[in-house]
């Protein structure tokens, strides 16, 4: 006779111990990534960079006019003009420096916001610089802006925001004297390669027009007609253009933009909005105080009315409780309208002061 207990199969409440297919794929990808990093570190250790040869290759690249024109940027801060290497020059330095990796990655995407990471890793020294940031899928326009839905637009806004972080990560790994040597060579190349022609001037004007800068604005800045521009001025304008293109500065920081141009009035508009809000809040407080005073005066004017005209008149305590317990501005104003029905002038003044204090609380909450 078979025992019935032998036919009972008990299942594991936590699931099967056998690895799932998804888990196996994840483990394989993790092993692959670890192997790639280990291989890169090993190659960097067995084939270390030659700093002298690396700097020579960097300087040779900086002799190219196409790179030198995009190598630097300028922006104003605290009344001073600050210059530095652009993302293009930083990428060239990293490429020629060797044994390092840099890039931008999108880590996650939720509710129209991407969490991203910019990094640079020197495999030879095993030093790594990482910077995380968030990018909103939004594009500002003169009409107020709109949300981005197309994948290409989202990629472009992430790449634009990530390029500045990527440059900072690269420059954190490269020796400062190497960067300075590259900048010096780029400036020398720019000065030597500038050939003032009508085509050069036309191309420069066309580039600045994308940022709302006209030919007349450029001439006002350089204090002369474009036909009389010097090579040094061309180099300076190229650096300004690189700064505008990389988002390091705004056109209004360099040129006299018209009053109705959004780029010229960002700060002014913010100040105007702030002043407008303060003005409205001040006017509202003044109106409320005047209303309370008027209520008190109205009460004085009706003190000679017979008592039977004020049927069920609220008491001082009831109005004070209504003022204290008001959770909305409308409820507070309704309670304030009852102040005039209090016969005692001293009590009316105390209730008016209480109303003003509560109204100020609502203003601070806004």
| Tens of pLDDT, residues 44-56 | 888 899 999 999 8
The residue that leads in pLDDT, 98 or 322, is: 98
How far is the first Cα of the chain from the last one, in angstroms, to the nearest whole number? 84
Phi, psi of 124 (to 5 degrees): -75, -40
SS3 at position 137: coil
CB neighbours of 64 closer than 8 A, spacing ≥ 6?
Answer: 189
123 confidence band (pLDDT: 50, 70, 90): very high
Q: What is the pTM of this model?
A: 0.53
Q: What is the mean pLDDT of residues 161-188?
A: 92
Give the CA angle between residues 141, 142, 145 to the nearest 5°.
Answer: 35
In whole angstroms, what is the distance from residue 114 CA to residue 134 CA? 6
Phi, psi of 115 (to 5 degrees): -95, 120
129 confidence band (pLDDT: 50, 70, 90): very high
The residue that leads in pLDDT, 271 or 293, is: 293
SS3 at position 119: strand
In whole angstroms, what is the distance from residue 73 CA to residue 62 CA? 15
Q: What is the pLDDT of residues 33-80, one digit of tens each?
A: 888 888 888 888 888 999 999 998 999 888 888 898 889 887 777 667
User: Please, are residues 316 and 342 in contact by the beta-carbon 8 Å criterion?
Assistant: yes
Radius of gyration of the chain (CA): 35
Can you give the pLDDT at residue 96? 93
In whole angstroms, what is the distance from residue 41 CA to residue 123 CA? 5
The residue that leads in pLDDT, 20 or 94, is: 94
In whole angstroms, what is the distance from residue 200 CA to residue 223 CA? 19
Can you give the pLDDT at residue 304? 47
Least confident range of 166-180, 241-255, 287-301: 287-301
Q: What is the pLDDT of residues 221-276, one digit of tens each?
A: 888 888 888 777 888 888 888 888 887 788 888 888 876 554 444 444 334 334 44
Average pLDDT, the chain: 78
DSSP string, 179-238: HHHHHHHHHHHHHHH----HHHHHHHHHHHHTTT--HHHHHHHHTS-GGG--HHHHHHHH
DSSP string, 236-286: HHHHHHHHHHTTSS-GGGTS---TT-TTTSHHHHHHHHHHHHHHHHHHHHH
Q: And the tokens for 266?
A: 């960002």
CB neighbours of 71 closer than 8 A, spacing ≥ 6?
Answer: 62, 85, 86, 88, 89, 182, 183, 186, 190, 242
User: Please, are residues 41 and 123 in contact by the beta-carbon 8 Å criterion?
Assistant: yes
User: At residue 24, does pLDDT exceed 60?
Assistant: yes
Looking at mean pLDDT, say which of 115-119, 246-250, 337-341 comes out highest.
115-119
Can you give the pLDDT at residue 273? 39
Q: What is the pLDDT of residues 190-207, one digit of tens each?
A: 877 677 888 888 898 999
User: Please, are residues 107 and 85 in contact by the beta-carbon 8 Å criterion?
Assistant: no
Phi, psi of 338 (to 5 degrees): -85, -10
User: At residue 323, does pLDDT exceed 60?
Assistant: yes
């Amino acid at each position: 006779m078979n025992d019935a207990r032998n036919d009972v199969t008990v299942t594991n409440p936590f699931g099967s111990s056998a690895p799932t297919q998804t888990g196996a794929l994840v483990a394989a990808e993790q092993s692959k990534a670890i192997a790639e990093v280990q291989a890169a570190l090993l190659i960097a250790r067995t084939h270390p960079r030659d700093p002298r040869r690396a700097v020579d290759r960097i300087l040779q690249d900086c002799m190219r006019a196409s790179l030198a024109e995009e190598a630097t940027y300028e922006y104003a801060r605290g009344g001073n003009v600050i210059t530095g290497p652009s993302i293009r020059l930083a990428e060239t330095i990293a490429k020629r420096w060797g044994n390092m990796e840099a890039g931008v990655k999108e880590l996650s995407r939720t509710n129209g916001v991407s969490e991203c990471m910019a990094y640079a890793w020197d495999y030879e020294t095993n030093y790594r610089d990482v910077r995380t940031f968030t990018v909103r899928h939004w594009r500002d326009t003169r009409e107020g802006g709109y949300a981005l839905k197309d994948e290409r637009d989202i990629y472009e806004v992430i790449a634009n925001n990530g390029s500045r972080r990527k440059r900072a990560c690269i420059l954190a790994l490269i020796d400062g004297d190497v960067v300075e040597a590259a900048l010096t060579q780029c400036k020398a190349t720019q000065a030597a390669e500038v050939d003032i022609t009508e085509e050069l001037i036309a191309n420069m004007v066309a580039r600045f027009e994308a940022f709302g800068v006209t030919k007349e604005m450029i001439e006002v800045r350089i204090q002369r007609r474009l036909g009389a521009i010097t090579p040094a001025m061309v180099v300076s304008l190229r650096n300004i253009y690189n700064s505008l293109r990389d988002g390091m500065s705004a056109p209004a920081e360099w040129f006299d933009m018209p009053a109705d141009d959004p780029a010229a009035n960002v700060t002014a508009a913010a100040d105007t909005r702030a002043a407008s809000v303060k003005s409205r809040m001040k006017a509202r407080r003044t109106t409320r105080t005047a209303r309370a005073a008027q209520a008190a005066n109205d009460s004085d004017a009706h003190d000679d009315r017979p008592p039977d005209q004020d049927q069920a008149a609220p008491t001082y305590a009831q109005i004070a409780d209504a003022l204290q317990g008001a959770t909305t501005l409308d409820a507070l104003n309704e309670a304030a309208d009852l102040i005039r029905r209090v016969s005692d002038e001293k009590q009316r003044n105390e209730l008016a002061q209480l109303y003003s204090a509560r109204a100020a609380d609502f203003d601070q909450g806004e």
